[in-house]
Amino acid sequence: MTNLVSVLGILIVLALPINAAAQNAGQIALAKKGANCPGCNLFQADFSGMEISGRNYSGARLRQADLSLVVLNRTSFARADMRDVNAYGGVFSSANFSGADLTHASFVGTFLANANLAGARLEGTNFSGAELGKARGLTQGQLDRACGDQQTQLPRGLRIPTC
């Protein structure tokens, strides 16, 4: 009986939510007010419609964040965790995504003129209808892991698989 109680106790502890992985409401509030927030935990934050440019979110955890219809020109997302981000219709002119993880992110209809995507991880990233014609640092190897459509504009000589 003692072993059963011990096992049940361990299972209960393992089933409890881990707060370390949860979002940080204070950091999200500061970022929404326009503060720089490098390395912040902005997990699942809703920034939809935000218009703030020239900020630093390098190394931040933006996983599953809503960046739809944002204007974040000249903003650094270098080395940020942006897996599963929804950036539908966003404007990211001259933004820095170098080394960022954009796995399974949706950049449908985004404007990425002069954005730096050098070394960004693009597995399953959807660029349908995106403006990438003047994006910097993109390689064919990166794009082979992403997808787009006939409206996706790419730098000369590059192509993208259809979603």
- Give this prediction's pTM: 0.86
Region 21-36: what's the mean pLDDT? 89
Tell which residue, 117, 80, 83, has the closest CA to residue 100: 80
| Per-residue pLDDT, 112 | 98
Give the number of other Cβ atoms within 10 Å of residue 10's Cβ: 10
Q: Given CA atoms 109, 131, 79, 52 in this order, what sign does their dihedral have?
A: negative
Kindly state the percentage of the chain with pLDDT values over 90.
Answer: 86
Distance, in Å, from the CA atom of 160 to the CA atom of 158, rounded to the nearest integer, reads 7
DSSP state of 26: H
Q: What pLDDT digit, counting tens, does each position of 102-149 carry?
A: 999 999 999 999 999 999 999 999 999 999 999 999 999 999 999 999
State how far the alpha carbon of 137 is from the alpha carbons of 41, 89, 113, 120, 121, in Å.
Answer: 26, 21, 12, 9, 12
| Per-residue pLDDT, 148 | 98
SS3 10: helix
Residues 130 and 153 sit within 8 Å (Cβ to Cβ): yes
What's the CATH number for 20-163?
Answer: 2.160.20.80
| Per-residue pLDDT, 21 | 54
The full set of domain ranges for the chain reads 20-163
